[in-house]
Amino acid sequence: MNSSRIIAITDIHGESGKLNDLIAKLDVKPQDTIVFMGDYIDRGPDSKGVIDKIISMSDVCNCIYLKGSHEYAYLEARKGDEYYDYLFWTYGGVQTAQSYGSFENIYKVHGEFLDSLKPYYMTEKYLFIHAGIRPGVPFEVQDEHDFYYIRQQFINNKHNLPQKIIFGHTEFKEPLVQPDKICIDTGCGKFPDAPLTAIVLPEEKFVQSYRLS
């Protein structure tokens, strides 16, 4: 009997306590795959600890690491882009720099990991992506920027892919479940009492942690 699962987790935002508690609840097995869907950094107090933990999970099971809007903003800010520099520091970058000791240390410690992040992960049944895709546009000509930043145009319209899309980026009080998509961003890092949510596939079961860091 094949008991392997795909587990998706997104928008951790420096909340290492919630992440550690959630992973303990999931009882991860070697045959499982975890898809981490971005926004590991910013807002919460322990971005470094979050990335250390998700990297360490590759010793436990198969792990896929996607890029979120906050990692995108950080990488662009590091290149000197003024707009993304503003976004990084305005939306939680101060906490991230503090967790590493300085802005420069972020790349010294985890630059190789951040550069390796993938834009999406697709299986026969599911597409895992941070924010979504632009409806009506063929997947092969999608603008990668939308993968990290699109919101209502994706959420409010059906897409044209055969896969069900698992995504985050836009927070909801409870997971948003639609016939063609599921959002599992429940506000972790943005609101102190918001849970970190995982979805376990194929049963589409939600597991949550409210533990404070």
Enter the pTM of the model.
0.96
Query: Mean pLDDT throughout 194-213?
Result: 92
Q: Residue 36 and residue 172: Cα distance in Å, rounded?
A: 18
Residue 198, domain member (yes or no): yes
Which strands sit side by side in the sheet containing 126-129, from one edge to the other?
Answer: 120-122, 126-129, 164-167, 181-183, 176-178
Confidence of residue 212 (pLDDT cuts 50, 70, 90): low
Confidence of residue 153 (pLDDT cuts 50, 70, 90): very high
Query: Mean pLDDT throughout 38-66?
Result: 98
Query: Mean pLDDT throughout 154-174?
Result: 97
118 neighbors 129 (Cβ within 8 angstroms): no
Residue 47, domain member (yes or no): yes
Over the Cα atoms of the chain, what is R_g? 16
Q: Phi then psi for 121, rounded to 5 degrees?
A: -140, 125
Q: Is the dihedral of CA 21, 116, 163, 1 positive or negative?
A: negative
Residue 160, domain member (yes or no): no
Domain containing residue 10: 6-119+171-209
Short-list 177, 172, 176, CA closest to 194 = 172
pLDDT score of 1: 46
Q: Residue 11 and residue 188: Cα distance in Å, rounded?
A: 7
Residue 15, domain member (yes or no): yes
Pairing state between β 120-122 and 164-167 = unpaired
Residue 58, domain member (yes or no): yes
- Which tokens in the block code for residue 143? 């603008």
**Above 90 in pLDDT, residue 84?**
yes
**Above 70 in pLDDT, residue 49?**
yes
Residue 166, domain member (yes or no): no
CATH code at 84?
Answer: 3.60.21.10
List CB contacts of 211: < 8 A, sequence separation 6 or more: 17, 18, 20, 21
Residue 177, domain member (yes or no): yes
Tokens 């991860």 appear where? 28
Q: Residue 175 and residue 193: Cα distance in Å, rounded?
A: 15
* Domain count for the chain: 1
pLDDT score of 145: 97
**Above 70 in pLDDT, residue 2?**
no
Question: What are the start-end ranges of the H helices in 79-151?
Answer: 82-88, 94-100, 103-115, 144-149
**Above 80 in pLDDT, residue 192?**
yes
Tokens 């101060």 appear where? 94
Confidence of residue 211 (pLDDT cuts 50, 70, 90): confident
Residue 140, domain member (yes or no): no
Tell me the β-bridge partners of 207.
198
